[in-house]
Chain A
């Protein structure tokens, strides 16, 4: 079985500050990990994904995440927050053995203070 845990249902940072959204995973097989962003009443947009290649993954909009097997983590970061980054962020996991089903974390709402 696979699962992801997102620490912190709500994170608030000042504009220009570092964004750090935490995600820990559990998987008995090599995981594939994703970060998605969701704006109100919209679907999900892929920010980045880890597929067993480079452990540091760069995504869109200046986001990046690092896969750390020893810590079973896949935290999302961005050096400088913009107001437009305010949204809901979901960490997700899947694997070849899971029939490509994606399991989502509970989500983290990111707020940006002016």
Chain B
């Protein structure tokens, strides 16, 4: 079945530094990728939707300049948390779909636990 690899699975960084999270579709071409943020014991909140070769579409309230999303190829999307602060600490999850997700389905990565100290 479809597999999405997310890396790293966890990262600790100092306040003020930037962190890049990668999301790769291993056996299919992901025309659309989604990035979610999940706070402890809470649901997933959609941050942005990215289509290969296009600028990401951010959800209301998500800072574009802080959460940089790049979807340069059909198998790779990256989320960069710039100038991270402790309040950015969270669990970040990516999801990918091949074409129309309704028919092809959505595959989720295993998530990245970000801790900013």
Interface of B is mostly: strand
**Interface bits B96-117 vs A (CB < 8 Å: 1, else 0):** 0100111101101111010000
Shortest distance between the CB of A3 and any CB in chain B (Å): 11
Q: How many A-B residue pairs have CB under 8 A?
A: 56
Interface size on A, residues (CB 8 A): 23
Shortest distance between the CB of B36 and any CB in chain A (Å): 8
CA gap between A107 and B109 in the complex, in Å: 18
Shortest distance between the CB of B93 and any CB in chain A (Å): 5
Q: Cβ of B42: which chain A residues have Cβ within 8 Å of it?
A: 106-107
- Residue ID in chain B nearest A34 by CB atoms: B106
Interface size on B, residues (CB 8 A): 27
- Residue ID in chain A nearest B97 by CB atoms: A100
**8 A-B pairs with C-beta separation under 8 A:** A41-B113, A43-B93, A43-B111, A51-B102, A51-B103, A102-B46, A106-B42, A107-B41
